[in-house]
Amino acid sequence: MRWVAYMPLRAGSKSIPDKNIRSLAGRPLFAWALEAALASKCFDAVYAGSDAGSIRAAVSQRFGDRVGLFERAAATCSDTASTEAAMLEFAAEVEFDVLCLVQATSPLTAPDDFRAAKEKFIDEGLDSLLTAVPWRRFFWTPDGRPVNYDPARRPRRQEFEGWLMENGAFYLTKAALLSESGVRLGGRIGIHRMDPRSALEIDDPHDWTMAEQLLRASLRIPGLREIHTLVLDVDGTLTDGGMYYGPDGEALKKFNTRDAHGIGRLRAAGVRVCVISAEDSPAVAARMRKIKVDEYHPGIADKPALLAARAESWNVALGRIAYMGDDLGDLDCLRRSGVAFCPADAVPEIRAEADYVCALAGGAGAVREVCDLILAATQK
């Protein structure tokens, strides 16, 4: 059977402008659920579809050929168009036996959710499946009638089984069912239960704030727990990118004390820190001595070559190296490393490539933010 995941996206969000491509906790909104679908390895192909060239370009920049692009008709992207219309449009062009409709507005979906749902779908011989969360609340109609309990025999909350609330994270639908009925749910229906926090769907600015807090608190960056070495650029990453010149040339660069403390904590935890710079600056050399970074390599014209050489000398796979940079000279290193980080003010090409875009700018604590993320992941 051919399993295909599809995320329909559109550009016309009114409550949160450009919602689908806006950065949420360091990644575009669409990237969270798509990355989980890819990481699950449940699908023969993963697609994203939109009528907006800007959205398709953003997906392509982020995922390259790992995610196929589908050009949607404007009619299926209107405010009144149904999701089923988008599914049927996709089904007319792409072959599959089971379609997984993935919703960008559910960024808390995890790879294990796809795996468990697929297993359930196969084991129980289902025709369709929805995701839901347990909801232990008492409901009433607007005119004052109880819906799901008897007020005369009010159960204790801990003894109340509750209901399951559809959270819209994703749906599994057999091609035959979709073709014959035109709907995503029918036939033998199954339910995959998800973490209660995944009840959050992003529809308004308040949802966005809540999702950002939840994602930053339990950040999922594939490979982060395996990081053995952090490699840092200097200008625009460890500094604010400013260069202060006097009559005799460069005199000063601005570093951040919190970054230094984060680097110290990483090294104390056994994570190697290496600094590579295209410049050969006495000010940077002095700073590296001060914070006791022995792996400092100035004046490097070919950063990717040095990164590969150092990885070999350390006997560390590139997949266990995290790299942080801010400009085009760092692009190849970011692509070759296991985890790619960048400051908030990195150039657009770097932000598109990064696994995580910091909330802070270069020289303003972005490196400390990355150090804390690595520590939180590797110490679990």
- Residue 269 neighbours by CB distance under 10 Å: 12
Q: Residue 109 has what DSSP assignment?
A: -
Asked whether 140 and 44 are in contact (CB, 8 A), the reply is: no
Catalytic residue among 2, 136, 137, 154: 154
Indicate the Cα dihedral angle 233, 235, 240, 242, nearest 10°.
180
- Is the CA virtual torsion 358, 5, 88, 177 positive or negative? negative
User: Rg of the Cα trace of the chain?
Assistant: 24
10 is catalytic: no
Task: Confirm if 225 and 262 have CB atoms less than 8 A apart.
Answer: no
The residue count for the chain:
380
Longest CA span, the chain: 87
CA distances from 281 to 89, 91, 169, 232, 304 (A): 57, 58, 50, 15, 20
40 pairs with which residues across the strands?
none
Q: What's phi and psi for 125, nearest 5 deg?
A: 60, 45
Hey, which residues are catalytic here? 154
